Chain A
Amino acid sequence: MDFYIFLTLAVISVITALLMVFARNPVHSVLYLILTFFAIAGQYVMLNAQFLAVVHIIVYAGAIMVLFLFVLMLLNLNKDSEPQKSNLWKISGAITSGMLLVVMVGALRNQIQLPAAAEYQPDRGLPAVLGRMLFDTEFVVPFEITGILFLAAMVGAVLVGKREIKV
């Protein structure tokens, strides 16, 4: 049963990702990518990472994709203004990425020695466990550095977006 849910979500996400790449209208691309993200959030729930699933939906579908949609609407991009690459370029891109997939599968197949699966503990994805690791024990310094990264990104985005800077 679980296997079929995994398979369904995987097929949905792969199909919507392909539609995202091949949609001519960039607004459709954004909407297909949101569907992909929801399927991936379903995978997180299946992996018993509930908090991760919720954060994924909030951050990606709620913030990042809204930002993308907002920029698309702001620049008034639609099907007519969409630049297209030539068919030769598209075919060569598809072949190149297909060869990348073949190389990755060939490199990973029967080559990696996985450690045995650890004993299953169902509390690994709960906010209490993650929060204790993030704020209390071993990920405190990376967390603070993340705050600095956000500050730098915010200042950078504002400065880049300004029209003219008087020095």
Chain B
Amino acid sequence: MLEIIRQVPVEYYVLYSAILFTIGVMGVLIRRNAIVVLMCIELMLNAVNLLLAAFSTYLSDSKGQLMVFFIMVVAAAEAAVGLGILIMIYRNTKSTDISLLDKLRN
């Protein structure tokens, strides 16, 4: 278990993170519920985190893991503010459907 980076090529981690990131992008594109869209953004951030951790182990450098901590902090702040905005949207429109929010288009 200690030498996984020798057994799994780091390219596999790149591919794996790309797949997870793409699933997050797909969720943002095809879902209309704003909460699920926020969750897909969390998934994209996690794909990037995983890649940073993989390269951190590959290069034996702790800086990548510290970057992951900062991304987690930003994700937590983003979730708190995003959900606050979402509750205000729900109060005004009685829905979390993001396709209702097209007032700027007209």
Expressed in whole angstroms, the Cα–Cα distance for A114 and B19 within the complex equals 20
Q: Which of B10, B12, B79, B80 contacts A114, CB < 8 Å? A: B10
Instruction: Given A33-B39, A33-B43, A40-B50, check contact A129 B62 (CB 8 Å).
Output: yes
With a CB–CB cut-off of 8 A, which chain B residues contact A89? Answer: 30
Interface size on A, residues (CB 8 A): 84
Instruction: Given A6-B12, A156-B81, check contact A104 B65 (CB 8 Å).
Output: no
With a CB–CB cut-off of 8 A, which chain B residues contact A3? Answer: 7-8
Instruction: Given A101-B22, A149-B74, check contact A71 B30 (CB 8 Å).
Output: no
Q: Which of B32, B38, B42 contacts A84, CB < 8 Å? A: B32
Q: Which of B11, B20, B26, B42 contacts A60, CB < 8 Å? A: B42
Q: Would B76 and A17 count as touching, CB distance under 8 A?
A: no
Expressed in whole angstroms, the Cα–Cα distance for A141 and B39 within the complex equals 30
Q: Would A13 and B20 count as touching, CB distance under 8 A?
A: yes
In A1-41, the 8 Å CB interface with B consists of 2-3, 5-6, 10, 13-14, 17-18, 20-21, 26, 29-30, 33, 36-37, 40
In A72-98, the 8 Å CB interface with B consists of 72, 74-75, 77, 81-85, 89-90, 93-94, 96-98
Query: How many A-B pairs with Cβ below 8 Å?
Result: 225
Q: Would A18 and B23 count as touching, CB distance under 8 A?
A: yes
Main secondary structure of the interface of B (DSSP, over half): helix
Main secondary structure of the interface of A (DSSP, over half): helix
A107 vs chain B, min Cβ distance (A): 10
Q: Would B3 and A117 count as touching, CB distance under 8 A?
A: no
Q: Would B35 and A98 count as touching, CB distance under 8 A?
A: no
Instruction: Given A43-B50, A83-B95, check contact A156 B23 (CB 8 Å).
Output: no
Q: Which of A59, A71, A118 contacts B60, CB < 8 Å? A: A118
Extra inter-chain contacts (10) besides given A118-B60, A156-B84, CB under 8 Å = A5-B1, A14-B19, A17-B20, A20-B39, A43-B50, A60-B46, A60-B75, A77-B96, A117-B5, A133-B63
